[in-house]
Structure 1
C-alpha cells in the first residue's frame, strides 16, 4: 500500500507494507520485517544508548585485576553502574511497559556516574546514559491498528513524538554547554 507523506508537495511516497527496493536486494526480507516490527514496538534506540553507555563505563574497570585494585572504590562503582545501565537497556527492549520506572533509575545512575566513576566514563558514558534514559522516558507506544488513544494528539505521519525524543537530549546538552561557558565571579 502506498501512502503520500501527508499531502505536502515534494514529499516522496513511502510504503507501509514493508516492501521496497531494499527488500528486493537484501537477503531474508521476512526476517528483517519481523525484526523491524519488533524494533518499532519498543524504545529500541533508547535501550541501545543505555547499553552503549553502560558498556563504555565498563571498559576501564574491566582491565586486569591489578588496575582494578588500584582504581579502588571508583572501579567497583563503575562496574556496578555499568552493569545496571546495560540491564536497564535490556529492560527497555524486553519489557517496554516499564519504560518510566527504568528510565528514571537509569537517569539517576547516569548522573551518579559522574561523581562515582571516572567523570562518568570521561563524560561519554554519562551522556549516552542521559540521552538513552530521556528517550526511554519520552517513548510512547503506538496504538495498534483499530485502537484509538483519546489522550494522545493525532499526528498525521507519526513524527511528533520522535522529534521530541531526539531533540530533548540535544536541548539538554546545549543548555549544559551554554551554561558552562560563563565566567564565575566571586560575590562581595
Structure 2
C-alpha cells in the first residue's frame, strides 16, 4: 500500500476522503479474509492429499467449506482487483488535487484557477480516464472467464452422468434412460 501524506493546508472534499478511506479498508479486509481462508484450509488439503483413503477426502473440511473457499477466491480476485483499480484512481485524486493551490491561497474543495491547480486536476482526471477502460476490460474478461469455467464444469458433469447411465445399463441389462439436460 502507499503511504499517503495529506497536504494539511488543503481542504479535501469530504466525500473523496471517505471514499479513499473506505476503499482502502475494504481492500485490505477482502485480501485478509482470503488469506485467512487459504491459510486455514491448506493444512487440511495437504493432510488429505497424503492419505490414500477415499473416505477421508469426503470428510475433509475443504470439501465442506468449498463454498467459503470459492467466495474467498472471488473476493480476492474479482472484488480485490476492482477495489485496487478504484484505490489507484482515488489515490491519484488525493495526491494531485492539492497541486498548485499554494500555501497563501484559501483552501477550497473546488479546483483553484491557477496553472498548477489545473495540472493537478488534469493528472487526476487522466488517471481516471485510463483506469476506467482497464476496469471495464477486467470485468468483461472476468465474466467471460467465469462463463467458460461454468460451461466446462457443466459439460464435464453431463459426460459423467452419461457414463454413469451407460454403466447402469450394463449392470442392469435394462434400457433405462437418465435424462441429461
TM (norm. structure 2) is: 0.35
TM (norm. structure 1) is: 0.34
State which structure, 1 or 2, has the greater radius of gyration over its C-alpha atoms. Answer: 2
